[in-house]
Structure 1
């Protein structure tokens, strides 16, 4: 059984330029995900998919494989993560005759996701027999959200029980935090999806779920790492 860890790292980023290689608490951002993957004994290979020479070089320095530079059509804003994963699997099969059974997707923008998180999610996946995605409790409950209609605010979603107006009375809801995705060959290559009807959540705390999109996120992650919070 081959489990391949894939870390997608495009060179162009609009929210925070060159974020994947920016130094965060002494090492480039992408290094955190590479280290987390390398420390998992079940993972056969750790591959960074990038279109950028600098990212490729740094990824290699930190122990990841970069067997190709991503083609231009997969380096645009419109390229999907599914396309990037499928391209990697195709490349390994066509160029190295390497069969990929399972994929661990680690986004480089989640530096507070640790080896322990990845280990627990992988164990959950191997025991469950279906895709696993990492989530955290949603900051804002959808039943408390409002939309504007004809100058007035109306509920985004109707409460199942109109008496439930306090957050603690509402059902827990989760949001994808982008840190960990685990899936198999069939879902990716046949279903063209990471998951379909059945997926199991791996719940992470809010602090570990920081996803770096802009400078504020980067500063927050820096503070948490310096404080030894994770």
Structure 2
């Protein structure tokens, strides 16, 4: 059984320049993903898929591989994660390492934990499903979400639920943006991840923060430092 971690890390981030190797709480943010993958003890290989030579060098210094530079056609703003994983799996097969299982770990996921990677792999195997990926719960019922209309006034998205009690509404979850376990053939045949082909790996909300803006980054660092001091 061959298992690979694939960490997408392109060089062209616009909202946070050089995001994938920017220093986060003392080290390049990609280090956290590489370290968690190594600590999990699950992977035969840990590969960073990048189009950027500097990112490749940083990844290699941190103990990962960067055996190729990603083609331009899957290195722009519109390249999807599955295309990147698929390319890496195809490259591995061509180069004598046909993997059975792959875990895509985002490069900007400083809260990712080896224990949850192990839990995700166990759920993938036990369920027999195509994928197992990280999710967390919304802190507020999405059924009572509000919008601001074109007149600048407040409207509920779901008027029928606006006066419902929170405890009477179904709990909702969202992608935690950390890791996506999958069978290699599922990635290669483009099975849809956000579907009944997947099982969830539920993370606590204090270990989840999407990082797309400077505000996100600052919030994530504060969360990380608070979490680290509590260990």
Does the residue aligned with 1:66 lie in a helix, a strand or coil?
A: coil
In 2, distance between residues paired with 1:169 and 1:7? 40
Name the structure 1 match of 2:142.
142
- Could you tell me which runs of 5 or more consecutive residues in structure 1 were left unpaired when the two chains were aligned: none
| TM-score in terms of structure 1 length | 0.89
- Conserved in 2, the CA contact under 8 Å of 1:13 and 1:19? yes
Shift of 1:157: 3.7
Equivalence for 1:174? 173
Deviation at 1:190, TM superposition (A): 1.7
Q: Which residue of structure 1 aligns with residue 37 of structure 2?
A: 37
Structure 2 length-normalised TM:
0.89
Aligned to 2:208: 209
Partner residue, 1:11? 11
For 1:182 and 1:88, the matched residues in 2 are separated by 14
Deviation at 1:83, TM superposition (A): 0.8
Could you tell me how far 1:153 is from its partner in structure 2?
Answer: 5.7
Q: Deviations over 1:149-203 (max 9, x none)?
A: 78676543464xx696122321111011111111112221123433643311111
Deviations 1:2-48 (A, max 9, x none): 11110000111122111111111221000000001112222111000
Q: Which residue of 2 aligns with 1:219?
A: 218
**Distance in 2 (alpha carbons) for counterparts of 1:223 and 1:154:** 33
- Give, in whole Å, the separation in 2 of the partners of 1:18 and 1:136: 27
User: Is the Cα contact below 8 Å between 2:37 and 2:43 reproduced in 1?
Assistant: yes
For 1:46, the equivalent position in structure 2 comes to 46
1:133-158 deviations in Å (ceiling 9; x for gaps): 11111144331124567867654346
Deviation, 1:114, is 1.4
- Which structure 2 segments of 5+ residues have no match? none
- Match for residue 88 of structure 1? 88
- Correspondences of 1:68-217 after superposition (within 5 Å): 68-94=68-94, 96-130=95-129, 131-147=131-147, 155-157=156-158, 159=160, 165-194=164-193, 196-217=195-216
Give the 3 Å change call, closer, same or farther, for CA 39–144 of structure 1 in structure 2. Answer: same
